[in-house]
Amino acid sequence: MTYKEHHPNWSRKSKNEIDQIIELALDENINYRDSLMMGIPATHLDKQEFTHDAQLLDGSTFLKTLINNPNHIGIHTNMKQSEPYFSGTQKLEAQVIRIVSEDILLASPNSIDGYISSGGTEGNIQALWVYRNYFNDVYSLDQNYSSIAIVCSEDTHYSCDKASNLLNLKIVKIRVHEDTRAIDQNHLEEQLKRLRKKGISNLIVVCNMMTTMFGSVDNLDTYFDAINLFNYFKTKVHVDGAYGGFLHPFTKPDQPLTFKDSRISSFALDAHKMLQAPYGTGIFVITKGLLKYTITNSAQYVTGKDCTLIGSRSGANAISIFKILHNYGPIGWAEKVTRLVSRAETLKNELNRLGVRLIYFEGSNIITIHSSEMTTSLALKYGLVPDNHLKPNWYKIVVMDHVKAYKIQKFLKDFKLFKSQKYLKKDFTKSKSYRLGISPE
């Protein structure tokens, strides 16, 4: 397979090339100043608060897009169903969806729909909303959805609890083994037996592509080995790749959680984590033909109607992803995340030499240290995030772009002092990091 075949939609471009593409896209969008259009309840961002100075905006096509304020409501993988006033930047959003679904998640060409969401939480809720309605419509279920359940591991993101509450769906969390975070097969089978006895025949499995606390990746075969024992359940699978979507496929190129696995129908990714896009930027991708189950027919004034949870959204978020992806290209991006993983492995190896109880998965940039190996003072100084703020069992280190080698060495120096008991004599309660506390996710 040649490079072009493997990345048919994604290549590295110069800053000038990227900016020219975006400028042309903006030219295709509505220009409120010169257009006669009067029916759209929107305009450019307010001039009193946001500069429209051409000289200042020339240096950033992202800011220029933000000021021009394109609305990317709806889905743009089929441009015939998109609002025509913002077609230029909507086409770039569609390109982003193709890159993510085909070049990263290995979908067949033109087989995926999707949109730029507000983040992983929305993507997860959107998927569960689609599958709830799919089961209800296809199998003519009762309107209280009592035969549908969400099945996921206990490490799954809390957004699935939100979805359970919002969508009136039962959620069943499967235990994991403490030091491997692998799904407990026996507990899974027990829970499936209970669900069957309760009359639940439709499962929405949420499979994790790197959990935010441990960086663990679920084995989808574990779920289906148990599900297939019953020959009873109808199943849809959503992959939560909010954290791992822009990391795991690059550091573990042969990883199996892709659209090549026909059991998987959708993914959620965050662009505001590894990709370093502005907060409120995520990606939701799903097999074509499924989003019709969340179309809101009452949205008659929207071209193509609307099937997304969020509705109106800023086109600038799509442009931020477009710029970042093409600035690096697939090879440049792989090199970047590999450097982060290399730093994490250096830290992990040093901690292993000290005999520290920790969890680390190959190809990850997360190291999680057991609370028995940590002091609160040290955790606060370095802003380590606990799994539970009231009663922590684990603290995690995430090697992001700002976590340079010198910071890792400084942490190791303090950690070794702690292990030798000398650190306990230090008092960090008056330090800035202590006052700030441990930032929530």
In whole angstroms, give the CA distance from residue 350 to residue 397: 14
DSSP strands (E only) in 69-190: 112-117, 148-153, 170-174
Q: What is the pLDDT of residue 141?
A: 79
Dihedral sign for Cα atoms in the order 293, 296, 297, 303: negative
Q: What is the pLDDT of residue 429?
A: 47
Average pLDDT in the 222-234 region? 95
pTM beyond 0.75: the answer is yes
Average pLDDT in the 102-128 region? 97
Q: What is the DSSP string of 151-170?
A: EEETTS-THHHHHHHHHT-E
In whole angstroms, give the CA distance from residue 118 to residue 129: 16
pLDDT over threshold 90, residue 22: yes
Residue-wise pLDDT tens digits, 297-308:
766 666 767 899
pLDDT over threshold 70, residue 20: yes
The encoded tokens of residue 3 equal: 């490079």
Average pLDDT in the 179-205 region? 97
> Beta-carbon neighbour count of residue 24 at 10 Å?
12
Average pLDDT in the 272-285 region? 97
Q: What is the pLDDT of residue 83?
A: 81
One-letter amino acid at 2 equals T
pLDDT over threshold 90, residue 16: yes
Least trusted range by pLDDT, from 108-112, 143-147, 239-243, 252-256? 143-147
Average pLDDT in the 166-170 region? 97
Nearest to 244 by CA among 208, 210, 207, 284: 210
Average pLDDT in the 416-424 region? 73
Bridge partners, residue 398, by sequence: 366
pLDDT > 90 in the chain, percent: 80
The residue ranking higher by pLDDT, 197 or 38, is: 197
Q: CB-based contacts of 117: which residues, under 8 Å, 6+ apart?
A: 123, 126, 268, 282, 283, 284, 308, 309, 310, 313
Helices 120-138, 159-167: inter-axial angle, 10-degree rounding: 40
pLDDT over threshold 60, residue 417: yes
Please report which confidence band the pLDDT of residue 200 belongs to, taking 50, 70 and 90 as the band edges. very high
Burial 33-63 (b: 16+ CB within 10 A, else e): eeeeeeeeeeeeeeeeeeeeeeeebeeebbb
Q: CB-based contacts of 115: which residues, under 8 Å, 6+ apart?
A: 72, 74, 75, 76, 93, 97, 283, 284, 308, 313
Domain boundaries, the chain: 105-313, 331-436
Please report which confidence band the pLDDT of residue 435 belongs to, taking 50, 70 and 90 as the band edges. very low
Q: What is the pLDDT of residue 58?
A: 80
CATH no. for 105-313: 3.40.640.10
Residue 116 and residue 318 in contact, taking contact as beta carbons nearer than 8 Å: yes
Nearest to 366 by CA among 129, 93, 162, 181: 181
Please report which confidence band the pLDDT of residue 51 belongs to, taking 50, 70 and 90 as the band edges. confident
DSSP strands (E only) in 291-381: 358-359, 366-370
Residue 179 and residue 216 in contact, taking contact as beta carbons nearer than 8 Å: no
In whole angstroms, give the CA distance from residue 71 to residue 60: 19
The whole-chain average pLDDT of the chain stands at 91
Least trusted range by pLDDT, from 2-11, 184-193, 314-323? 2-11
Q: What is the pLDDT of residue 387?
A: 95
Average pLDDT in the 195-203 region? 96
Please report which confidence band the pLDDT of residue 192 belongs to, taking 50, 70 and 90 as the band edges. very high
Q: What is the pLDDT of residue 423?
A: 47
In whole angstroms, give the CA distance from residue 205 to residue 424: 45
Do 105-313 and 331-436 agree at the fold level? no
Please report which confidence band the pLDDT of residue 56 belongs to, taking 50, 70 and 90 as the band edges. confident
Please report which confidence band the pLDDT of residue 54 belongs to, taking 50, 70 and 90 as the band edges. confident
Helices 315-353, 87-98: inter-axial angle, 10-degree rounding: 30
3-state class of 4 per DSSP? helix
Residue 328 and residue 383 in contact, taking contact as beta carbons nearer than 8 Å: no
Residue 116 and residue 89 in contact, taking contact as beta carbons nearer than 8 Å: no
Arch. (CATH architecture) of 331-436: Alpha-Beta Complex (3.90)
